[in-house]
Amino acid sequence: MEDFHPLNRPLRGVVTMTADKSIAQRALMLAAIAEGETRIDNLPATGAVASTLHALRTMGARIDLGDPAADGSRPACIDGWAGMSIDFEEMPRLHCGDSGATARMLCGLLAGAGMSAHLDAGEQLSRRPMDRVLAPLLGMGVGFDSMRFPFTLYATNQLNPVFWELPVASAQVKSALLLAALGAQGESVIREPALSRDHTERLLRAMGVDLESTVMPDGSYELRSTGPATPDASLLPQPWVLPGDPSSAAFLAVAAALLPGSDISIDGVALNPTRIAFAHELIAAGVDLQIEYETEVAGESVGSLRVRCANSMPQYAPLRVEAAQVPSLIDELPVLALFATACQGESVFRSVAELRVKESDRLQGIIDGLSTLGCHAWLDGDDLHIAPGTPTRSATFDPHDDHRMALTWAVAGLCFQPTKVPGFDGIVKISFPDFIDRLGHLA
């Protein structure tokens, strides 16, 4: 599907969310280096997870997938290679597809495991910067023959601990360094200017890693890691049931907030505080959104989001997103920018330059896309401003193979004016392959 037309009717009903790919990729990597068998239920059938599975299998991990459920998700059993001797006839060649999380975290995993490999990526990912993760790994003693794809990572058995201050909060870079620190001799210290998503920390602690976190007086976030705390220095395998993806849920939540008369519940969603900031932004704008906590899964709080919209369009307050909030909103900013056009006043998103180095230049994509729809958005330094005034024109978009942008322009077509997003189904496979199916349960 690539043509989207205004629904002209509310969204109603209950939908269960696709499992979170960020948690899934991290759980797979940690299971691969644990000692013993790990079972992961609800592994999502996304492109990003497929890239991670392929790379781990190429590295020698034994991964058995069960029969798929209706949404394509599967149970997985992973036999970790801790304590095993894996000999390759030649250095493994790992292809990361277009998954930035796969590429960056694999570099840390390889470094911590003392395993050398060739790494390559798809055309889109090859354009994205890798120096943020490769530079600190160089300081730990890892070698590279290039700082761009394709490159070879040369591991060392004498890995130095890392002390690194991230100039920009990044969950992927932080996770890569935490994975590398598992194989370092001594305490590693990682600081980021604000807390980014912390799934890796939660999983590592559950698997026995001594990991200390501190919020510093200036608001920065510091992590100290001394590696696995178990006597045999191995990660403890755990059974994981993966919760639903809040970033994907954001697109359904915004659509419901923009379609009068809507009343939806999105169940089974991870309610990690570093992932549901978008919900609090919507609540602050006046959206009738309730967060209901239910249980704990894989170290994460899980529950549901209920979103209701009055029969006549509410007058939403403008969004005010400060710089410290951006790391917890980075994937939802495009659809929040679309939502901002329906607010009664100018919305401001502070210090969002990080959007330029995602799957596409999302910052320029937002400005150009909203302009094409007849809206007004502009930059003041690194601050994004969006004037009130919903889309008045139909449009055809080139999402530049960026799944978040493709989903945003789909929501624009469903809620405002007709849009066309060429290649939509293939693009969104990386994170939300069943968007149309989930929408069909509600429309």
The residues assigned a catalytic role are 331
Helix (H, G, I), strand (E, B) or coil at 267: strand
Rounded Cα distance, 99 and 126, in Å = 10
Helix (H, G, I), strand (E, B) or coil at 93: strand
Beta bridge partners of 320: 348
CB < 8 Å & 24+ apart, contacts of 283-288: 284/317, 284/319, 284/320, 285/316, 285/317, 285/318, 285/319, 285/339, 285/343, 286/314, 286/315, 286/316, 286/317, 287/253, 287/257, 287/314, 287/316, 288/314
Residue pair 164/191 in contact (Cβ under 8 Å)? The answer is yes
Rounded Cα distance, 395 and 243, in Å = 35
Phi, psi dihedrals of residue 98, rounded to the nearest 5°: -115, 30
Strand locations in 326-381 (E): 347-349, 377-380
Rounded Cα distance, 328 and 272, in Å = 10
Residue pair 278/336 in contact (Cβ under 8 Å)? The answer is yes
HSE on the CB side for 145, CA within 13 Å?
10
